[in-house]
Amino acid sequence: MHFNAYGGNAALLAAALANLDDQCDARTVETLLAEHRVARPWLTDEQLQQLRAWCLRLWKAFAATTALEQVAVVNRLLADAAARPYVSTHDGQPPHLHYADENADVVTRVRAATAAGLALVLTETDPCRLGRCSAPDCRTVFVDVSRNGRRAYCSRLCATRVHVSAHRDRKQRR
């Protein structure tokens, strides 16, 4: 599956943030932001707390059980992020969309980009592309970038664990 580069990366960032431990430190978050090409990813303690709260809200968009619920969650994220799309040509790059002023603080930029990225996945692909691992003991969320859009597990490890458990259950019932 192909994503709009800016929106797709923002959706993948949303999933990565949603999967962070709620006790993660600033360095972990800054590294993650840098890996997803967020400019100036440095965080104060207050900004770290704000992003931790945002991460919990992002997780709810993936964990929603219906498309209508996902849309409602993402609409609340968009409203609270106050995303205002505009075309930017900074640093000699060709025109591309930004969802917050490039000089805004890191929390504002991350909130706007992740909310918009989730909205783009919902509207340009399929709401089912925002998923939560089907393993009963796993809370990991993901953006399904597979060709057929039928991903059910966050990793092969979780899929294998579930399938082995089901196999053992079937063997015991015989």
Residues 44-57: pLDDT tens digits?
A: 999 999 999 999 99
Q: Is the pLDDT of residue 126 over 90?
A: no
Distance CA 3, CA 58 (A): 19
As given in the structure block, the two tokens for residue 161 are: 């664990």
Which is nearest to 7 in space by CA: 87, 141, 97?
97
The answer for residues whose C-beta is within 8 angstroms of residue 86's C-beta and 6 or more apart is: 97, 98
Confidence class for position 90, pLDDT limits 50, 70, 90? confident
The overall average pLDDT reported for the chain is 89
Q: 112: pLDDT confidence band, cut at 50, 70 and 90?
A: very high
Q: How confident is the model at residue 85 (pLDDT cuts 50, 70, 90)?
A: confident
pLDDT above 70 for 103? yes
Residue 70 has pLDDT above 80, yes or no: yes
In this prediction, residue 7 carries a pLDDT of: 60
Please list the residues that pair with 143 across neighbouring strands. Answer: 130
Residues 6+ apart with CB under 8 A from 47: 105, 106, 107
Tell me the C-alpha distance between 65 and 63, whole Å: 6
The mean pLDDT value for 55-61 works out to 97
CATH code, 5-128:
1.10.3300.10
Radius of gyration of the chain (CA): 18
Percent of the chain with pLDDT over 70: 96
Examine the pLDDT at 2 and tell me if it is beyond 60.
no
Mean pLDDT of 68-72: 95
What 3-state DSSP class applies to 28?
helix
Q: Which residue has the tokens 């960032």?
A: 13
Contacts of 170 (CB under 8 A, 6+ apart): none
Q: At what angle do helices 67-81 and 106-124 cross, to 10 degrees?
A: 150
Q: Is the predicted pLDDT of residue 58 greater than 80, yes or no?
A: yes
The DSSP bridge partners found for residue 86 are 98
Taking alpha carbons only, the member of 45, 46, 48 closest to residue 32 is 48
141, pLDDT greater than 70 = yes
Q: Please name the residues in contact with 145: beta carbons below 8 A apart, sequence gap of 6 or more.
A: 1, 3, 8, 129
- Name the token pair of 75: 């609409």
**pLDDT at residue 145 is higher than 90:** no
